Structure 1
Amino acid sequence: MLLWWLLVVVLVAPLDAQVKFPGSRPGSRPGSRPGSRPPAQQGGCNCVFLVRCALYLDQIQQGCDLGGGVAGVCCPVSAAAAGSSTGSVTTRRIFSPASVSASLPSMDSAKMAQSFSAGLNFANTINQIEKNLIQNSVVLPVFSPAGQHLRVFIIDEGAKIMDRNAMAIITASKQLVDDFTLTRNQGSFGLRNMPVSGTSLESLCPQVPTCPNPNSKYRTADGSCNNLANPIWGKSNTPNQRILPPTYDDGVFEPRSRAVDGAPLPNARRISSNVLLDVNQPDESYTSSLMVWAQFIDHEFAHVPFPTMDNGEGIQCCPNGTLVAPAFRHPRCLPIDLTGDPFYGPQGRTCMNFVRSMVAVGAGSECVFGYAEQLNQLTHWIDGSVIYGSTADQMRNLRALRNGLMKISGNNLLPINSNQGGDCEARERGALCFTAGDSRVNEQPSLTGLHTLWVRQHNRVAGELQKLNPQWSDEAVFQETRRIIIAQEQHIIFNEWLPIIIGKDFMKAFGLNTLSSGFSNDYNPGINPNMNNEFSAAAFRFGHTLVQGTLRLFKTNGGVDTIRLRDHFNSPHLIELENRLDDIVRSFTQLAIQKFDSFITQDLSNHLFQTPRFNSGMDLMSLNIQRGRDHGIGTYNNFREICGLPRARTFNDLTDQINPENVQKLARVYKSVDDIDFFVGGITERSVPGSLLGWTFLCVVGDQFARLKKADRYFYDLAGQPGSFNDSVATDPSFLLGQDHV
């Protein structure tokens, strides 16, 4: 029998358990970047950004002014050690948005109009290309590994419209660069001073949402109107933002492909197979609940999909495992070269499918030309969208529309995909696909299990509320239940899960601890909560190193069965047909995860989305590296610098954070320390003492969660907001329900 306690018990080992990894304090040389500030000397005070002093939290005595009204902290050690703060200082953004000063030359309006026409013609050009591909059957087979990688996502219609419009504006931006011979910075940042409004592309800009009821007790389904001054912040189908300027080859959209010496960057698969190896190192402290919560939370607020063709067919870049002919290459293809690969080569594969991410533009005055920004299909908040969906239509389709309940299927399982059971790989095994607030619900069995627990918890709470308030409508019961469920989710994340990931010192440093009594008052409407691209495309992918390739299912009678993860991607047959949900859930507290390190199970690196028709799959590590280049993510050395570490000049300089054996591996595949991809460098770092993550990932993850908490007008422990709870609920949302709570 599945019990609610499985959601609210301590997820793993006690929170005071120390991560048993070697670590060292960061160096002391301050970094710099466009838009950053150096440490300011104020009467012996080293005034630094919050993130640069956390390891010295017990020595911080006061805040300080970095200039221009930007708050810092007096760090008692030399300049840029780490990141911390006290009091109201923590309510400030740790990182200011990426920006570079770049002025534009005088530009002739008639010539500009010709550039804009390239954007207007974009849709027609793509339609002709895709028509030719479909006619020649150059499409992705649904039940291939790459086909299942695509089908694990369902692309919202709003996302498709946004991507199409944004691509037109990006195409016009690239044409402006060519027509006016703009420099890289002018094309990237100079054009961002040019609004799309007033041009022939103006109709492609999304509208700023209206907020008819700013004092609503309940969140909107799509995340809009949380911030009343900026109602589009946090909304689904809007752009990510950035910590560092993009590294696109052309400054606008072309993926990062060149090393600092101008040569091609090392192949993503070569890096994966030489640096991110498979070594079994189970963690002695933490169980699989830590990993599955990481994935569940990721699916709560981050999803940058890649597109299909207009008719829904997948984009094929590697037919039969070989590079597609130039005449049939879709513009969004960025395939990974597998030539000579020791694993894929003997199978005759020289190419791994990779399709570039979907993009978005801002609304109103933020709809501008310039560099591409990737689209987040989900709301950017921790708001239960992983359970309820990120649009009003998704939410409505998941509801039973009676007594405030969510839909379920037989045996109290998740509802079946209404699209003829969906296209997940389960159909190859005689099963159907489940549906939930996030389309990746079927991706692996533990994730499906956690989704199921939350829907059951919603229905349990709704049932109690309906008994206490029989006069309430379906809508009232649903919204009050949703409000409670979101509070419970936030409580678990910030009280149990996140302190393990970033450590208790950093929880305090970033101001992330929730209160044991009373209310918090740290809401800051000036903080933009939107996902940082570097967070969602790199740092928050740390969970991939925690995954066990061999899973253990724990039976009621104490027996244990062993299965391989590779046999269960995107296929919930284990739950739907074999009734093993309870066995999976027991593993949350009994199955050890893998340690946070540079070792990745082969079930992810060689067999991702493997189906019964294939004896291999994709490589998630290669996809992660290629995705970072696709998004123009800054390099590892740049993130060392912005996070307060000394910039590495040689590979040996990396040993302050990375074990020497891993540094040697990096040196064998990269020519320069300035070429190292952020994901690769971050995943090879030693854990900071008291936390799970290495320094740079901790820096970026801490920043994001600080903004997700402090920018959220509906965060569960806030006082004085329309959605505020009373004191007993704010401090203990696992309360025994009673009418006085709502």
Structure 2
Amino acid sequence: MKRSQQLIALGLLVTLQCCVLTVRSDDNGKCALLIPGATTSTCISYEAINRAFNAAKEITRLGGPQSKSKELSDIEIDVLGRTIVETSRILAKEFKLAPDAIHMGLPMIDTRHTVINQYCPVKYQRPQCKVQRYREPDGMCNNLENPHWGAVMAPFRRLLPPNFQDGVSAPRISVTGSELPTARLVSTLTHKDMGFHDHAVTIYLPAWGQLIDHDMAMGAESKDPRTNSEPKCCNVPPNQRHQACWPIDIPSADPFYKLFRRTCLDFVRSGAGVREQCKLGTRIAVNTVSAYLDASFVYGSDLETMNKLRVFKAGQLKSNAMNRHKGMKDLLPPQMENPDANCKRPSKDVHCFMAGDARVNQQMMLVALHTILMREHNRIALELSKINSHWDDERIFQETRHIIAAIVQQITYNEFLPMVLGKEVMERYSLLGERQGMLNKYNSKLEATLPTAFFAAAFRFGHSLIPNALERWSTTHKFIGSRRLSDIINKPFDVYTGNTCDEYLTGFMNQISQAVDDSVSQELTNHLFRDETSGFGSDLASLNIQRGRDHGVPSYNAYREFCGLRRARSWNDLAGAFTNETLHMYMQAYKTPDDLDLWSAGVSERPLPGSMVGPVFGCIMGETFKNLRLGDRFWFENAGQPSSFTQEQVNEIRKVKLSRVICDNSDHIETVQVYVMVLPDSEINPRVACKSGILPRINLSKWKE
């Protein structure tokens, strides 16, 4: 934060504290917020806030107050969120508030003294936390001082103040005052499918990246109340569109979509979120899963989902035993409720899969990894039930869930992040794993809530890694065939047949990933979620760019400054940041370096030495994963907590590699390279037998009571 911003924030905080000490809930004439000015101060009264909220209710059609304990639907939360934003907009206009005052000042107002409090559900109030061994499914009370941090429905946090055109919610425009280039133009100019490969990294790296992305993040959607699903925008007259519609214009000369006479891509703004205690401020988006690395993709981020996945016997998760008679392990259970959600079924008797995360069926990388993690849970639970025969189902299930979350953390920080970020960034952000002892660095002041810049831009770096097709290899490491990515999105039915799951699992350790660069597969830029009858789909690069603008993510140039780099004053200042060709394309698309969208420029940066990403994405990811590790009270290496493992147990978890999990939970895979996210190399990453002692298995006897 700049010094000037710090002074403004400090001034606002001091004045607020003065007001709160003297205000009474029934004294509407008093200042809710006093903003100091050069000559006079601005007093925003509780009475003014009540007037603004009542006016906003008329605009958004918010109904009357509900029962405090009532669980609001996604649509009801969106309407309440939009009403609070509209209240902030009315106040900003009435009192001529600067963006800093809207972003930092308005959220300081204690809305419990306003009419807003009547509409604020109990879930947005401070809960009473109990200290216990196992995590809450929704991440609540991980941080005892700030229970909502990292929990379901917590707003994404800001590394920089948001950049909204009106300071409140309208998407960013050019610093020149004109519109930014349409996201599709940036995509076609800069993110062509050049097919460059990374010469070391396998498909397991982007596969694991997407898995943990789904563990940590899912933005709230805007929904049409008539269908309870995301509204369509492009084929609807502008005056009849849902208020969240913000379609992406397609240039008339678009090299692909002009063949189909398409003029726009469907895009819907994220659902409006609600802050703790329903505080005022800029538009926010909320995370509908827990931010912590807690394996919620296996178990769900709410108790209802978790219970649907359990057998309630011997700690087991539900599975599909259809192939047991063939000597094969169980598959994920079928998705029987809402069977067509995120699933393109060929017939009514074929089902997609059910897991802790609803996006499991998107593509085969996810299905395969979800399958082996479900099997790993059941394998560990079965062994624990034998080691501790006196444990009941609940104890076995929760302890196994605790171990699986630890394994996810271990693999992420010891196999995934070192390849993505490199040693220098890992050291800078305290991400390197401990080899002995405990971590003992838990810091309750570090917020593990994901930054908007991470969710809407930086961790979408993996979209550059995805190939056009996914390969299947035999368990003896011979190429069998491949499937075009767009042919299997939301159609994971291959897994039901024969050894297909093993063939994909083996394929991922043999297929080379794309590189992190400006090149994006046309399967993602022209055929995303392709409709078989039309021949075209959507464009993920365009969606990423538009999503950043939707969330008020400041420009790449602003994050250069945040990350300690020199802010570009001219295009020449970026000569070393990108290839000459990429920079030339940006000069064609944008009027100034201050307009560059964070996701587009971030994936296009020249990588740091020993890293897959450039300095800005390295900085944003480094900061995020530091907080996810040191700000997680349940982190597996923490000592002195009710959730703590013993030193012996931690030592066992540290032995686990993804290759071991694959060996234990595939059907017939017998050899793997030690680090499956990297191509095999006879000297530094040899392919070894699963039966050998080179890949130690977690010794669960250390859990014997």
TM-score normalised by the chain length of structure 1: 0.79
> Secondary structure at the residue paired with 2:198?
strand
Residue of structure 1 aligned with 2:318, choices 407, 410, 413: 407
Distance 1:173 1:396, change over 3 A: same
1:603 is matched with which residue? Answer: 523
1:194 maps to 2:106 = no
Larger mean CA deviation between 488-497 and 156-165 belongs to 156-165
Distance 1:125 1:229, change over 3 A: closer
Distance 1:580 1:247, change over 3 A: same
CA distance in 2, matches of 1:729, 1:308: 45
> Secondary structure at the residue paired with 2:481?
strand
Q: What is the correspondence of 1:218-237 to structure 2 with a 5 Å cutoff?
A: 218-237=134-153
1:167 is matched with which residue? Answer: 82
Checking the alignment, whether the CA contact within 8 Å between 1:120 and 1:201 is kept in structure 2 is: no
Distance 1:691 1:559, change over 3 A: closer
Residue of structure 2 aligned with 1:395, choices 306, 322, 341: 306
2:92 is matched with which residue? Answer: 177
Amino acid at match of 2:55: A
Larger mean CA deviation between 589-598 and 510-519 belongs to 510-519
Distance 1:517 1:158, change over 3 A: farther
Residue of structure 2 aligned with 1:382, choices 282, 289, 293: 293
> Secondary structure at the residue paired with 2:626?
helix
Residue of structure 2 aligned with 1:418, choices 336, 343, 347: 336
Aligned-residue offset at 1:317: 4.4
Residue of structure 2 aligned with 1:626, choices 526, 546, 552: 546
Amino acid at match of 1:600: V
Checking the alignment, whether the CA contact within 8 Å between 1:32 and 1:642 is kept in structure 2 is: no
Checking the alignment, whether the CA contact within 8 Å between 2:233 and 2:246 is kept in structure 1 is: no
> Secondary structure at the residue paired with 1:700?
helix
Q: What is the correspondence of 1:318-467 to structure 2 with a 5 Å cutoff?
A: 318-320=233-235, 324-340=236-252, 341-364=254-277, 367-409=278-320, 410-411=322-323, 412-428=330-346, 431-467=350-386
CA distance in 2, matches of 1:713, 1:112: 37
1:468 maps to 2:387 = yes
Distance 1:503 1:353, change over 3 A: same
Residue of structure 2 aligned with 1:487, choices 406, 409, 418: 406
1:715 is matched with which residue? Answer: 635
Checking the alignment, whether the CA contact within 8 Å between 2:524 and 2:540 is kept in structure 1 is: yes
Q: What is the correspondence of 1:696-735 to structure 2 with a 5 Å cutoff?
A: 696-733=616-653, 734=656, 735=698
Aligned-residue offset at 1:494: 0.9
Checking the alignment, whether the CA contact within 8 Å between 2:247 and 2:264 is kept in structure 1 is: yes
Aligned-residue offset at 1:114: 2.7
Checking the alignment, whether the CA contact within 8 Å between 2:250 and 2:262 is kept in structure 1 is: yes
> Secondary structure at the residue paired with 1:551?
strand
CA distance in 2, matches of 1:178, 1:578: 64
Aligned-residue offset at 1:302: 0.9
CA distance in 1, matches of 2:441, 2:73: 33
Aligned-residue offset at 1:195: 2.8
Aligned-residue offset at 1:429: 5.7
Checking the alignment, whether the CA contact within 8 Å between 1:317 and 1:335 is kept in structure 2 is: no
Aligned-residue offset at 1:627: 0.3
Amino acid at match of 1:427: R
Q: Percent identity?
A: 36
Distance 1:33 1:533, change over 3 A: farther
Checking the alignment, whether the CA contact within 8 Å between 1:222 and 1:379 is kept in structure 2 is: yes
1:73 is matched with which residue? Answer: none
Distance 1:184 1:716, change over 3 A: closer
Aligned-residue offset at 1:505: 2.0
Amino acid at match of 1:723: S
Amino acid at match of 1:417: Q
1:503 maps to 2:440 = no
Q: C-alpha offsets along residues 541-579 of structure 1, whole Å, 9 cap, x if unaligned?
A: 000000011221113463411210011111111213565
Aligned-residue offset at 1:728: 2.0
Aligned-residue offset at 1:312: 3.4
Q: C-alpha offsets along residues 54-106 of structure 1, whole Å, 9 cap, x if unaligned?
A: xxxxxxxxxxxxxxxxxxxxxxxxxxxxxxxxxxxxxxxxxxxxxxx877723
1:281 maps to 2:196 = yes
> Secondary structure at the residue paired with 1:567?
helix
Distance 1:217 1:663, change over 3 A: same
Aligned-residue offset at 1:122: 5.2
Distance 1:102 1:390, change over 3 A: farther
Aligned-residue offset at 1:33: 6.9
Distance 1:111 1:641, change over 3 A: closer
Distance 1:125 1:220, change over 3 A: closer
Aligned-residue offset at 1:109: 5.2
Residue of structure 1 aligned with 2:42, choices 80, 100, 105: 105
Amino acid at match of 2:192: L
Aligned-residue offset at 1:732: 2.9
Residue of structure 2 aligned with 1:737, choices 692, 700, 704: 700
Q: What is the correspondence of 1:490-569 to structure 2 with a 5 Å cutoff?
A: 490-556=409-475, 558-569=478-489
1:680 is matched with which residue? Answer: 600
1:207 maps to 2:132 = no
Amino acid at match of 1:348: R
CA distance in 1, matches of 2:179, 2:620: 28
1:293 maps to 2:211 = no
Q: What is the correspondence of 1:595-674 to structure 2 with a 5 Å cutoff?
A: 595-674=515-594
Amino acid at match of 1:679: W
Distance 1:623 1:741, change over 3 A: farther
1:116 maps to 2:57 = no
Amino acid at match of 1:472: W
CA distance in 1, matches of 2:579, 2:6: 29
Aligned-residue offset at 1:186: 3.4
Bigger relative contact order, structure 1 or 2 (CA pairs below 8 A, ≥6 apart):
1
Distance 1:157 1:590, change over 3 A: farther
Q: C-alpha offsets along residues 450-483 of structure 1, whole Å, 9 cap, x if unaligned?
A: 0111000000000101111222111011001011
Checking the alignment, whether the CA contact within 8 Å between 1:302 and 1:377 is kept in structure 2 is: yes
2:503 is matched with which residue? Answer: 583
CA distance in 1, matches of 2:704, 2:561: 47
Gap regions ≥5 residues in structure 2:
8-34, 65-70, 324-329, 657-697
Distance 1:126 1:692, change over 3 A: farther
> Secondary structure at the residue paired with 1:189?
helix
Q: C-alpha offsets along residues 288-315 of structure 1, whole Å, 9 cap, x if unaligned?
A: 0001011011111111132221243444
Q: C-alpha offsets along residues 684-725 of structure 1, whole Å, 9 cap, x if unaligned?
A: 101100111111000000000000000111111111111111
Q: C-alpha offsets along residues 21-44 of structure 1, whole Å, 9 cap, x if unaligned?
A: xxxxxxxxxx9575479xxxxxxx
CA distance in 2, matches of 1:222, 1:614: 40
1:242 is matched with which residue? Answer: 158
Aligned residues: 615
Distance 1:119 1:517, change over 3 A: same
Gap regions ≥5 residues in structure 1:
1-30, 38-100, 128-155
> Secondary structure at the residue paired with 2:286?
strand
Distance 1:424 1:226, change over 3 A: closer
Distance 1:477 1:157, change over 3 A: farther
Aligned-residue offset at 1:363: 1.9
Aligned-residue offset at 1:535: 0.5
1:40 is matched with which residue? Answer: none
Checking the alignment, whether the CA contact within 8 Å between 1:515 and 1:731 is kept in structure 2 is: no
Q: What is the correspondence of 1:298-309 to structure 2 with a 5 Å cutoff?
A: 298-309=213-224
Checking the alignment, whether the CA contact within 8 Å between 1:305 and 1:357 is kept in structure 2 is: yes
Checking the alignment, whether the CA contact within 8 Å between 2:56 and 2:84 is kept in structure 1 is: yes
1:69 is matched with which residue? Answer: none
1:266 is matched with which residue? Answer: 181
TM-score normalised by the chain length of structure 2: 0.83
Checking the alignment, whether the CA contact within 8 Å between 2:384 and 2:396 is kept in structure 1 is: yes
